[in-house]
Amino acid sequence: MPGTFPTLSTGAIAQYPLMRELHLGAEALRFLDGSAQAYRNQAAARQRWVIDLALLNETEVGTLREFFEEQKGAWGTFRFTDPWTGATFTSCSFDDDIFPERQEGEGRNAARLVIRA
């Protein structure tokens, strides 16, 4: 059973600004005569969230780092609740294998997580 993306100490999943993308996979082939043909190469659209987190305390960044390591970066899958709609996606993964943590001062940490469904 996959884990669930952790919430911050405020109970929120993300902070603003928050970016969400809908990706429709397509591929275009160019022929020798200069013409091209495009087609969809995915059955359904894919969701992607870019979550910039700032002013995280040590506990919050530690919880996120531990969860990231449990998922083994981009390899694992987990449940994620879309902050806009409240819909839960059960098969999400991270886009990266390295936890993107930045220390911005004493007790002030930041991270940028990219999640795809």
pLDDT in tens, 38-51: 887 777 778 899 99
Q: Strand 78-81 relative to strand 18-23: parallel, antiparallel, unpaired?
A: unpaired
**pTM of the predicted model, to two decimals?**
0.74
Three-state SS string over 19-51 comes to EEEEECCEEEEECCCCCEEEEECCCCCEEEEEE
Binning pLDDT at 50, 70 and 90, where does residue 23 land?
A: confident
